[in-house]
Amino acid sequence: MVPTIVGALILASWSLAHWEIGPVFLNAGLALVATLFGGWQRFLGGFQDVFRGKITVNVFVVVALIATLAVGEFRPAAIIIFIMVVVGALESYTLDKNRQSIGTLLDLTPRTATVRRGQEEVVIPVEEIQVGAVVIVNPGERVPVDGVVVTGSSSVNQAPITGESMPVDKFKGSEMFGGTLNLTGRVEARATKVGADTTLARIVHLVEEAQSTKAPIQNIADRFTVWFLPVVLLLAVAIFIVTGNIKNAISILLVACPCAFAIATPTAVTAGISNMARRGVLVKGGIFFELAGKLDALVVDKTGTFTLGRPKVLEVIALDGMAEQEVLQMAAVAEKYSEHPLAKAVLNCAREGELDVPDPDDFKVEIGRGVVARWTGQDITVGQGDFLGNKGILISAQAEGLIADQTQQGRTAVLVARGTQAVGLIAIADEIRPETRAAIASLYQVMGNKNVTMLTGDNPLVARSVANQIGVEHFQASLLPEQKQGFVKKLQDAGHIVGMIGDGINDAPALALADVGIAMGAAGTDVAIETADVTLMNDDLSRVVDFILMSRAVLRRIKLNIFLSIIYNVIGLVLGSLGMLTPVVAILFQEAGCISVVLSSTLLLWAQPKRPECVRQPE
């Protein structure tokens, strides 16, 4: 709107002058109005900076405009403002891309939702849903709130939230995110987060927050102006003294305006933030691009980051001639009603093996120790060695040796007994994320070193086992939250730029201290996400590689933009000193630099970080 009005006023001014319509002050007045209407913010900012005792880009622009108006060049001054507002519109295009993505995210939330009230289903506005309410989501509808499935099953497209390309199966107990699309079945979910507390709303907040963070490198333009403006003023005075032509001096001021220099960084940073947001990586500000491009040390929490934070059966060992499937079936029957994570791992393994798991005839759980069940007339006991020993169950030397072997590998050994005899052993450990090993290999190549350290509160045996499986050479075990933070501080004191990846509350101190804190968005806690500087919404560690590569691309683009702006200024000053520029041509030449910088930054919106091709490592 503003560029259109300013352009129309300039066109009217030129038309009146060209066809000599009306008095001169009329066309000059229109040009003056265009200058003030389009540039009042520039004038206000420049005068405010002067009163603060600062020489900034705005001060430089105001000096050039006032000098142009003072010699009666009203239309050139208006043209300066017109080009600036047009360039400003082009500059905001990159920012609008991000704002459009925010609007798209907001549109993912439905306006109304169906909730269960007793036996009735009632349609209400989404704003009225309370935590604890049961919402009903039919196939083809979007999930209105974050919640946990209580009834039904379905496949859900949650790409807008986590970036996953394949639909995710949901069943009783599964978490659902507001804004995701229910594809196949009808589900009922109990609301756990509503309104501004949902994952979708938090994403919107993080993206908006990223817009308001200013990288320190942006201050270069103002620091540059501190010495550049006096030099240009002296050069303009010298040109006026030598040539006696005030327009030559004004041309020097106009062509030297450092507008392109001022927008070199923010346009590149905003484009980088938008590019990463589309990849499921939310960056809170430009400074983190600068720091991530220089990372030379990375510390990573184990549970929930390198691993999925859920136990998985890795091995079933039968004793005394029993079949492995029979051992697993007995354990699954005994654990069927248990809520313990290890019990769920056993049941998942039985389901994957398509084993029949009937209900036990009797069941008793001893919290934190094990379970005792009765099935087909026999007692089945499942638990660790000391629990079975206290029940009078015989544990052979072979079983003792297997327990020791599994413990040495960092696994949890669960014994299965029938009657008074141990008949098998189930080895369980935290499941490693499938992409972890490849992501570590890529990080080593991108960082140029192997300074990646795994931190964990687990015991050293578990830590060593995971480290060996994923290819990490360094690890620290049995750490408390303050010790994780202390390790980050130690690396920083040694001169390293440190990145930290975590997902839990216990990682928050280290995330806050690290130069770049990176949180796992889907599995991470609210505290970790809010503390971190970067959030991986799909929990894919390979996105860290993308982020580092994009950070370097952003920094390269900033340097290119600054180089382009300086080149335009230098060439313009030379031409102006030789008297080869009029005020209008000086304006066009100078603003061409701004357009070049904006276009250069806009290309980052579609940049594709190229990950290194890692040599497959032996299993």
Token pair for 307: 């691993």
User: What SS3 class is residue 108?
Assistant: coil
Token pair for 75: 């239309």
- Using only the alpha carbons of the chain, give its radius of gyration: 33
User: What SS3 class is residue 173?
Assistant: coil
Distance of CA 61 to the CA centre of its chain: 36
**Whether the Cβ atoms of residue 290 and residue 215 lie closer than 8 Å to each other:** yes
In total, the chain counts a number of residues equal to: 619
Pick from 288, 291, 287, 284: nearest CA to 98: 284
Residue 493 a catalytic site member? no
Distance of CA 39 to the CA centre of its chain: 36
Q: Alpha-carbon distance 91 to 84, whole Å? A: 10
Instruction: Give me the amino acid identity at 567.
Output: I
Cα dist from 429 to 346, 367, 442, 530, whole Å? 11, 20, 25, 29
Pick from 523, 542, 544: nearest CA to 533: 544
Token pair for 66: 């006032």
Q: Which strand ranges, in their side-by-side order, compose the sheet holding 154-157?
A: 168-170, 154-157, 181-182
Q: Alpha-carbon distance 86 to 92, whole Å? A: 10
Give the bridge partners for 136, in sequence order: 114, 188
Cα dist from 88 to 210, 266, 344, 473, 509, whole Å? 20, 12, 57, 50, 40
- Secondary structure (DSSP) of 355-386: ---PPPSEEEEETTTEEEEEETTEEEEEE-HH
Q: Alpha-carbon distance 54 to 67, whole Å? A: 19
User: What SS3 class is residue 87?
Assistant: helix
Active-site position among 49, 146, 222, 301 = 301
Q: Which strand ranges, in their side-by-side order, compose the sheet holding 175-176?
A: 120-125, 112-117, 134-137, 187-193, 146-152, 175-176
**Whether the Cβ atoms of residue 611 and residue 542 lie closer than 8 Å to each other:** yes
Among positive and negative, which fits the CA dihedral 413, 418, 419, 422? negative
Q: Alpha-carbon distance 57 to 273, whole Å? A: 25
Q: Alpha-carbon distance 57 to 229, whole Å? A: 9
Alpha carbon distance, N-terminus to C-terminus of the chain: 62
Task: Give the residue carrying structure tokens 């003072």.
Answer: 70
Distance of CA 145 to the CA centre of its chain: 21
Cα dist from 547 to 207, 250, 387, 542, 561, whole Å? 15, 45, 48, 9, 21
96: alpha, beta or left? (left if phi > 0; alpha if psi -120 to 50): alpha
Distance of CA 252 to the CA centre of its chain: 44
Catalytic residues: 301
